[in-house]
Amino acid sequence: MTDNQRTAIVTGGSRGIGRAAAERLAEDGQAVVIAYAGNDAGAREAVEAAERGGGRAVAVRADVADEEAVTALFDTAEQRFGGVDVVVHAAGVMRLAPLAELDLADLDAVHRTNVRGTFVVGREAARRVRRGGAIINFSTSVTRLNIPAYAAYAASKAAVEAISPILAKELRGRDITVNAVAPGPTATSLFLDGKSEELVERFAAQNPMERIGTPEDIAEVVSFLAGPGRWVNGQTVYANGGVA
């Protein structure tokens, strides 16, 4: 590792937006620690993709809501690459149902990963990210769109939008930025699963670009916030092609 190489931890890095972000950061020259919940094959593929681009990467299985697992994740980053400069917390789960029909076990699962996980990862990041670093959490444009059946998911991501600017202020004086990225409809399994082609087309028509986003669109925003975007801090960046 070169003396000036930065190291990023990317949770949810075995698929979707997390994987695209990990691959993009590797292309940008960062060593990448890919954290994943259970998709062993996807994690291996993500590491291989990062390495094909000339990057250095390792995969670590970790439950983001488990403080011991997250501590071990950061330990691995420090042991393998010397420290942590960027944390991209992309891990998340979604359960959809009208509020009157929502199974409270699903609510608890969403809360555990999306809210508790953000606290656990953010707490460790606040303790360990080096000066000049960046913490990037993930929200969703659904917090603005008020789509039926998304109440549990949107509520959990609204919590992320509350946590991020507070942490930014708590890190005053350390030259560490904290932001949230809020994608709109994006071509990942999290969004596409269970939706008809007609429904996906309706979502695509909602923004003036007339398409749904790609994981690479969102990874580009992550790359900016993880690198040159030093004057963007405490913000939620809506990456959604212009949907209201």
Known catalytic residues?
153
Cα-based distances in Å from 211 to 21, 35, 48, 201: 20, 29, 29, 8
Buried-exposed string 49-79: b where 16+ CB fall within 10 A, e elsewhere: bbeeeebbbbbbbbbbbeeebbbebbebbee
Q: Six-digit token pair at 105?
A: 């076990």
Buried-exposed string 142-174: b where 16+ CB fall within 10 A, e elsewhere: bbbbeeeebbbbbbbbbbbbebbbebbeebeee
Q: Which residue has the tokens 């488990």?
A: 66
Do residues 68 and 42 make contact, with C-beta atoms less than 8 angstroms apart?
A: no
SS3 244: coil
The helix or strand, by DSSP H or E, that contains position 72, with its residue range, turns out to be helix 67-81
Query: DSSP assignment, residue 9?
Result: E
Do residues 230 and 177 make contact, with C-beta atoms less than 8 angstroms apart?
A: yes
Cα-based distances in Å from 199 to 60, 195, 203: 35, 6, 6
Do residues 218 and 20 make contact, with C-beta atoms less than 8 angstroms apart?
A: yes
